[in-house]
Structure 1
Amino acid sequence: MNHKYSQVEESPSFKRAVLAASIALAIGPFAVVHADDAEGEEKKEVEVERVSVLGTRAAPRSATESAVPIDIIRAEDFTNQGLIDMNDMISSVVPSYNINAQPISDAATLVRPANLRGLAPDHTLVLVNGVRRHRSAVITFLGGGLSDGAQGPDISLIPGIAIKSVEVLRDGAAAQYGSDAIAGVMNFNLRNNAQGVEFEVKHGEYFEGDGTNTVYSANIGLPLTDQGFFNVSYEFKQADPTDRSIQRADAQALTDAGNTNVANPAQVWGLPETHRDFKLFVNSGLDLGNGKEAYMFGNWAERNVEGGFFFRNPNTRSGVFSGDGGQTLLVGDLTPNDSNSCPTINIVNDVPDPVALAQVQADPNCWTFYERYPGGFTPRFGGIVVDGSIALGTKGEWGDSWFYDISFYAGRSEVEFYINNTVNASMGPDSPSSFKPGAYTQIEKAFNFDISKPMEPAWADSANLAAGFEMREDTFEITAGDTPSFLDGPLTDQGFSIGSNGFPGFKPEDAGSFDRQNWAIYVDYELSPTENLFTSVALRHEDYDDFGTTTNWKWSGRWQVIDSLSLRAAASTGFRAPTVGQNNVRNVTTQFTPQGLQDQATLPPTHPVSVLKGGEPLEPEESVNYSLGMAFEHEDLFITLDLFKIEVTDRISQTSPLALSPAERALLVSQGVRDAASLSSVVYFTNDFDTTTEGFDLVVSYSWEMLGGDSNLMWLLNRTQTTVDDFNPANIAPEKIRTLEEGLPEWRSTLTMRQNWDKLGGFIRANFYDEYYEDHLNSALPIEAGAELTFDIEASYRFTENLAGAIGAQNFTDEYPDRNPWDFIAGAAYPSTSPMGFMGGYYYFRLNYQF
């Protein structure tokens, strides 16, 4: 089965292909396996824990029989923990997968980026039921250096209760699945039971007494006639924010000077507030007879997430409170054509001149935002994420053992931004305090046709031939914000900034729909010359309408040395196509700099200003992957060790901020970009550096009987190190290079001990995080954080055949990362990119009812 799909414009050929698919699907609308009796379902549950379809188009293979490293994670590994976000769940069981909190990171706060094997979020291909999942509409403009500019799928929208198993292919697979599969592939298999109901509630809170959250989830299995199933999974969550801040030095100075209007803390570092988080997944299948099946699965999700931004100092914030760095307040003349002029308000020792301030406040023709926000303000930024998808397909056997799979997929992600407690300064006293800056939308469609044929040649043990074709369409849309969010008001020419401060709205001239189409063909051949020897080769050719063609290959092999030991190796080339959004997005963000808060524009690489700064049309990233490993399995002992090396050239990222000169700002203004006068710098997407990432993964599992129960010990160890081989020093700052090389722990490890009796069970887990580096606030403020060790613990009890409960704690020793030496600057007590998090201990309880 071809698990990748393509980007295509709605051309006549594409519409004909979709029509053909629709006709093929008309015989039945639903998913890959039919219903079984209880005994058969139990056997399938055991089987799904042991075999994977990733990396092969022949019969499924176990993790030890695969020629490439694959983790097969059972559903209970997700449900038996207190974590409530799929990203965090994956990170707890896959050490090479890293995720952090992303506070004050614009849209990245809404959809957190994650890193597999130290690479960018969009270097990992995500599948659901073997079908490529669409990207999120969010582009990570602020990604802590490692994820800057990435646009990947949002797996946090997948509820844990919907999962039957997760397969993680830790190897390059672009020749098999297409773009993005550089770091690896993650496949989420949805539950397919045709009967049974399960309800679950989780409730948790951090030891500090904040971050309280409750999650309600359910799974219902229904028969679809006596030959199919219809499975529904549901989750609803709400979560309070957390706060791990101290008072900023400048805010404290204001308070010490007598300003009683400053909040404490003026700026919050912590997890955002989730007002509502609703997720629905459907998975269904129908046996059509004669070896044919039909399938359907899809999702609908919506969530509203709100966090904070940087504090706006009432004396110094440029374009709002001051125009000269805090020597005087910025005062607007509301009647500039009259002869009267407004008084100058000098600031001395953090206190505006009270006499001049009173004169301005008494004069209806003069205005300063100090009147509205005497203690400054901190914008509240949020977004409503709406996500939906549907996959329809049919597969089966025809002719002489030829197997086919025809499918159509459509996915849509939209994020509608909002920002409160802020101003459009250029509008003066008429400025509202809440704005809707606009929305991003990502739409993806795909049509796939795949065939395969198992063979038994006389000169070999077995073989399998597969081939396929796909068409894809990607669309990225920018929706303009409400007028006040981008309006250049009457005070623009007096130095007041334009647009909703912190996140200006998208202007009508920036709005639009941008699309791309491509098609691909592939061939895949697997051969076992003997029972103990396996090899495969794959070749894939793709054609994109914006940058041309790319052809990639992969070879893998496995040798069963003895019954308990096998050796395996693989080599491949890969690529990642630049996204339509990366090619066309425009955005303005507020960055913390050594000179204070400054507005920074992200422009398309082909924009005249980008071209002036060296911008060129984006090309695909290219990679070469190598892996070498072994697998050992003897009775209840299981060991895999895999070494890897990934060379990526022409990597895509945002440039470091490129300062705008007065002449360049004037050029932007002359081109109609009126808010350019307040911009300090620009960034754009570029293919500007090469990296080599290498390391190894070790997995050790041992099971035995102890104290009358079942015991299991699992040790996972990962080492990942990235080296930047080449870069453009004009675009990439030294701090970003160090972040790419040291921003994640070189070593990560988990050691889990599980014990289960008839009704009582539990586990204890040790998590090790090596030292790491953070460029705090992206402002050349180095943090060298040390290694940390945390512990998780859980105890569970089955009260009845249907009812079970558990109580536990993540990080139950309440460990925190090293203190931030620069905490006084912006109030962050701890490094915000800490891979272990910086919230401290978290306790929870869970109840589960099944019938």
Structure 2
Amino acid sequence: MSATASAQVIAAAADAPDDSAAVDPTSEIIVTGTRRTDRTVTESAVPVDVFTAKDLSVQASPSLQTILKNLVPSFNQQRNAGADGSAFVRPPTLRGLPPDQILVLINGKRMHRSALVQVAGDSLSAGSQGPDLSQIPAVALGRIEVLRDGAAAQYGSDAIAGVINLGLRTNDSGYEVNARYGQTYEGDGKDIQVSANAGFKLGEGFVNLSAEFNDQGLFNRALDRPDAAPLRAAGIDVPSPSTRYGQPESRSYRFVINSAIPVGDKDEVYFFGNYGFAKQEVDFNYRRPFAVSVTPGAAAVPGAVPAASFTLGESIGPIYLDTIPGLRTASGAPVYNANGRIFRGSTFFPNGFTPLFKSDNEDYSGVIGYRGETAFGMNFDFSAGTGRNRISYDMTNTLNPSLGPQSPTSFFLGRLEQRETNINLDLSYPVEVGFFSPLNIAGGLEFRRETYAVGIGDPASYAIGPYASQTVQRTDGTRFVVNAALGANGFPGYSPDAATENSRTSYSAYVDLEADVAQDFTIGIAGRYDHFSDFGGTVNGKVSARWAIDPAIAVRGAVSTGFRAPTPGQSATANVQTAFPNGSVVPVAVATVRADSVTGIYFGSQPLDPEKSLSFSGGFVLTPGSGFTGTFDYYNIAVRSRIAITSSFNVTPADRVALAALGVVNAADLGQVNYFTNGFKTKTQGVDAVLSHRASVSAGVFNTSLAVNYNSTDVTERTIPAAIDVRRSLNIEGLSPKWRGVLAESWTSGMFDATARLNYYGSITSYNDNPNAAWVINPASIQEFGADWSFDLEVGVTFDERFRVAAGAENLFNRYPDRDVRNLFSQTGAAANGRIYNDASPLSYMGGFWYLRASAKF
């Protein structure tokens, strides 16, 4: 739902000056978390962070998610390397809650979700579906507001963790061009970014255009797999390392437009939108051409837990090609000759192969609206918007084993699509009722239509070929059965059974009251009703208050209820991928199935219900003067009926027989199964502390900020223990750092400037194996990754007030997180898949990254 504000306030907010020396963000008007048009950051009854274009311009990374991670301590994201689509659309978290509990607005209007449901995300984000923040380039933003408080009663579903409002630039003149080149200290991960912004007058209004091109190279932090050495000894040309993990290759183009034209004295018509396209690629695990045996021996890393000895079979094959004439099984299937011709993966790929998983991500949105003020002083904002995200997948350098020698080696796997339409009417009117300030009465209506669609891939990408299941007879007359993997090896394409188009319509109405009932006391009350075509109605409310004890100190607090309905994507997602679950030495097929599918019901699935939440927050604001401000806020968020993807069920031979009897065509190929469920309850609590100081002295202007977050999540109940196992709940609690801090200093003096940032990350704990029923945990399955820090630095020089050049480094001292020491092999010092770092590490395992940048303004 829109964040209603007058056109003048929105324009002033989004078009703040670029020079942070002239701007104190704490004194700026905010439009998030309130529907009044006269509130500043320190006057807000709930915590709101404001970041200007200057804050964004000195960040090392062009990615908006990484920028937010540096600026907001309770905002986090994991890398998810090699985790199918999650490697491309990285899921963020805020205050220990997943991305689909974060509401993202653009100019106060809801941003549509990504088409990707995070099937392969981390423990906290697995199963979530939120917006793709990378679609909006930083150059298009005039400012960002982050509301760190539950706001479902004000803005609707998804606002349990908070709200991120992206304010687009509104300048009506001038040109800006930026270029940046960087790479890691290791010499990989090259990153080229070129961006531009231009403002033009449009009659009495404006049009602002932004564009960005980004070419991101791969960096790799994996070591060899243990099967690589014996393969090379046998003359096989195995890549080194055999499987790459790190940052995928990506090339993206982003465009944003923002415009408004006045109509009369107080009204205006506005339009804004975006278009983005990205091509990305990642490895999907090397496949061996034949079987090898590996004996780990002594651990190669101090404190490491060695893996067991094992034999790895060939990845694809053998597949028997010759039938025995006249012989048939009882079901009428042909019988194959064990001594006849054989097809293997090595027939196509003598040195083995690594499937390449490719993504084309196309995103667009547009919002048009009319806003202003009536003759009697009521503000209004009527808008309509639409958005679509489409992700198409391809796989090359692989095959469909069940098709044997008739298999192609490249496949179109299908596409995912998310479409949303929103129509909003927002009204606000100040009424004199005898309080110190007018009572601001706001209300509105919303219509939403959202659709999630899955399009099928090439028939060969999902085909159940003639060699899917073979009965083979030896010379002595004995028989055995050989099952070949189905579909494109690595990621079977979306079949007609997976294809879907699932839609939902919702209607909403809200009322929001706020006033200074006394000179130093503000109170706000909000209520909202939502009705979903598939889940019925819900009512939520919020009460907030602020009391200024004296000019230097104020206390504030809020209590609210919230909800989040399952997305159409969560109700309809089904796919299969290969993975190395729980340190497995052999990749297995992991299937995500619909809750209403035969497989899902077999493993205990139930219909999805909406999540419900109850949030409390309270704190105080210090404004002692002399450039100092400070805010301290405690929060407590209880969420029941949490929607998430289940822990994976291991599929036993008996399960495969039973599923096949129920008509599940790929039953023989399944290794693990999961689905979406309302499986558990959580309580998340923490403290945010933000201190800032601004000083102008003879040496220049200094802006100092310290932001600290403590966050703890407890799984208070596993409502479906078989679906959300103990290991999963422990990882939800343990794989996010409890402590996070950012100390930043910026300095400007004449033509010189510098920005330094110290990041602190608390420790995390990973649980690799599931404890037994008595919660007795195998110590060898646990690893604590210690607290860590990184330091960023950028120095710049500005010439002629228009041209700036700068050099900087992200993670200047080249620090890496602790290595994973579980299930290691002496030959490589890595796990079976070659990985040495935990994806959940808040400190990136990219290492140090240097860059040069230049900008020009005209």
Q: Cα distance 1:373–1:781, how it changes in 2: closer, same or farther (>3 A)?
A: farther
Q: Cα distance 1:366–1:69, how it changes in 2: closer, same or farther (>3 A)?
A: same
Specify the alignment match of 2:317 in structure 1.
Answer: 330
Once the 2 structures are TM-superposed, how far is the Cα of residue 595 of structure 1 from its aligned partner?
Answer: 6.1
CA contact (8 A) 1:300 1:389 kept: yes
1:601 correspondence with 2:579: no
Specify the code of the residue in structure 2 equivalent to 1:581.
G
SS class of match (1:665): helix
CA contact (8 A) 1:48 1:165 kept: no
Q: Cα distance 1:693–1:98, how it changes in 2: closer, same or farther (>3 A)?
A: same
Specify the alignment match of 1:753 in structure 2.
Answer: 745
Q: Cα distance 1:694–1:335, how it changes in 2: closer, same or farther (>3 A)?
A: same
SS class of match (1:172): coil
The match for 1:432 among 408, 429, 446 is: 408
1:570 correspondence with 2:558: yes
SS class of match (2:689): strand
Specify the code of the residue in structure 1 equivalent to 2:630.
I
- Equivalent positions of 1:191-590 (< 5 A) are 191-225=169-203, 227-256=204-233, 258-274=234-250, 276-315=251-290, 326=313, 330-338=317-325, 365-494=341-470, 495-590=483-578
- 1:396-429: CA deviation from partner (whole Å, max 9, x where unpaired): 1124211111110100000001112211001112
Whole-Å separation in 1 of the counterparts to 2:365 and 2:831: 45
Once the 2 structures are TM-superposed, how far is the Cα of residue 91 of structure 1 from its aligned partner?
Answer: 0.4
Once the 2 structures are TM-superposed, how far is the Cα of residue 371 of structure 1 from its aligned partner?
Answer: 2.8
Specify the code of the residue in structure 2 equivalent to 1:333.
Y
- Equivalent positions of 1:705-716 (< 5 A) are 705-716=696-707
Once the 2 structures are TM-superposed, how far is the Cα of residue 178 of structure 1 from its aligned partner?
Answer: 0.4
Specify the code of the residue in structure 1 equivalent to 2:188.
D
Whole-Å separation in 1 of the counterparts to 2:393 and 2:219: 21
Whole-Å separation in 2 of the counterparts to 1:423 and 1:45: 60
Whole-Å separation in 2 of the counterparts to 1:327 and 1:158: 44
The match for 2:837 among 819, 823, 830 is: 830
- Equivalent positions of 1:767-782 (< 5 A) are 767-775=759-767, 781-782=781-782
The answer to which of 644-653 and 663-672 deviates more is 663-672
Whole-Å separation in 2 of the counterparts to 1:564 and 1:211: 48
Q: What is the count of residue pairs matched by the alignment?
A: 797
Q: Cα distance 1:39–1:504, how it changes in 2: closer, same or farther (>3 A)?
A: closer
The answer to which of 290-299 and 168-177 deviates more is 290-299
SS class of match (1:245): coil
Q: Cα distance 1:187–1:484, how it changes in 2: closer, same or farther (>3 A)?
A: same
The match for 2:39 among 61, 86, 111 is: 61
Once the 2 structures are TM-superposed, how far is the Cα of residue 329 of structure 1 from its aligned partner?
Answer: 8.0
CA contact (8 A) 2:288 2:315 kept: no
CA contact (8 A) 2:21 2:701 kept: no
CA contact (8 A) 1:33 1:192 kept: no
SS class of match (1:826): coil
- 1:288-344: CA deviation from partner (whole Å, max 9, x where unpaired): 114211110000000011111223233459xxxxxx963998322223244899xxx
1:817 correspondence with 2:817: yes
The answer to which of 767-776 and 808-817 deviates more is 767-776
What's the TM-score, normalizing by structure 2? 0.89
SS class of match (1:73): strand
1:803 correspondence with 2:803: yes
SS class of match (2:540): strand
What's the TM-score, normalizing by structure 1? 0.90
Once the 2 structures are TM-superposed, how far is the Cα of residue 508 of structure 1 from its aligned partner?
Answer: 1.6
SS class of match (2:172): coil
1:70 correspondence with 2:60: no
- 1:27-74: CA deviation from partner (whole Å, max 9, x where unpaired): xxx9986799x9999999958772211111111411110000000011
Whole-Å separation in 2 of the counterparts to 1:482 and 1:31: 52
SS class of match (1:426): helix
CA contact (8 A) 1:536 1:557 kept: yes
- 1:474-499: CA deviation from partner (whole Å, max 9, x where unpaired): 10001000111011112111211110
- Unaligned ranges ≥5, structure 1: 5-29, 318-323, 342-358
Specify the alignment match of 1:25 in structure 2.
Answer: none
Q: Cα distance 1:463–1:32, how it changes in 2: closer, same or farther (>3 A)?
A: closer
Once the 2 structures are TM-superposed, how far is the Cα of residue 778 of structure 1 from its aligned partner?
Answer: 10
- 1:770-789: CA deviation from partner (whole Å, max 9, x where unpaired): 11123569999543211111
CA contact (8 A) 1:32 1:294 kept: no
The answer to which of 74-83 and 594-603 deviates more is 594-603
CA contact (8 A) 1:34 1:228 kept: no
- 1:800-819: CA deviation from partner (whole Å, max 9, x where unpaired): 22111110101110000012
Whole-Å separation in 1 of the counterparts to 2:467 and 2:231: 27
Once the 2 structures are TM-superposed, how far is the Cα of residue 441 of structure 1 from its aligned partner?
Answer: 0.1
Whole-Å separation in 2 of the counterparts to 1:671 and 1:443: 34
Whole-Å separation in 2 of the counterparts to 1:788 and 1:279: 34
Specify the alignment match of 1:26 in structure 2.
Answer: none
Specify the code of the residue in structure 1 equivalent to 2:609.
E
Q: Among the aligned pairs, what percent are the same residue?
A: 36
Once the 2 structures are TM-superposed, how far is the Cα of residue 661 of structure 1 from its aligned partner?
Answer: 4.1
Specify the code of the residue in structure 2 equivalent to 1:307.
V
- 1:653-711: CA deviation from partner (whole Å, max 9, x where unpaired): 11111133445434544565422210122111000100001110111111223452111
- 1:186-217: CA deviation from partner (whole Å, max 9, x where unpaired): 00000000000000001110000001111010
Specify the alignment match of 1:17 in structure 2.
Answer: none
Specify the alignment match of 1:642 in structure 2.
Answer: 633
Q: Cα distance 1:702–1:196, how it changes in 2: closer, same or farther (>3 A)?
A: same
Once the 2 structures are TM-superposed, how far is the Cα of residue 607 of structure 1 from its aligned partner?
Answer: 1.4
Specify the code of the residue in structure 2 equivalent to 1:617.
P
Q: Cα distance 1:45–1:152, how it changes in 2: closer, same or farther (>3 A)?
A: farther
CA contact (8 A) 2:500 2:572 kept: no
- 1:417-445: CA deviation from partner (whole Å, max 9, x where unpaired): 11122110011122122111100000000
Specify the code of the residue in structure 2 equivalent to 1:335.
D
Whole-Å separation in 1 of the counterparts to 2:10 and 2:832: 57
CA contact (8 A) 2:225 2:832 kept: yes
Specify the code of the residue in structure 1 equivalent to 2:835.
A
CA contact (8 A) 2:400 2:487 kept: yes
1:841 correspondence with 2:853: no
Once the 2 structures are TM-superposed, how far is the Cα of residue 758 of structure 1 from its aligned partner?
Answer: 0.5
Specify the code of the residue in structure 1 equivalent to 2:785.
A
Specify the code of the residue in structure 2 equivalent to 1:788.
D
Specify the code of the residue in structure 1 equivalent to 2:157.
S
Whole-Å separation in 2 of the counterparts to 1:484 and 1:242: 32
Specify the code of the residue in structure 2 equivalent to 1:768.
Y
The answer to which of 487-496 and 148-157 deviates more is 487-496
Whole-Å separation in 2 of the counterparts to 1:327 and 1:268: 20
Whole-Å separation in 2 of the counterparts to 1:47 and 1:764: 18
Whole-Å separation in 2 of the counterparts to 1:174 and 1:135: 17
SS class of match (2:488): coil
CA contact (8 A) 2:2 2:110 kept: no
- 1:551-576: CA deviation from partner (whole Å, max 9, x where unpaired): 10000000011111110000000011
Specify the alignment match of 1:729 in structure 2.
Answer: 721
Specify the code of the residue in structure 2 equivalent to 1:624.
L
Q: Cα distance 1:760–1:40, how it changes in 2: closer, same or farther (>3 A)?
A: closer
CA contact (8 A) 1:31 1:294 kept: no
Q: Cα distance 1:661–1:246, how it changes in 2: closer, same or farther (>3 A)?
A: closer
CA contact (8 A) 1:35 1:229 kept: no
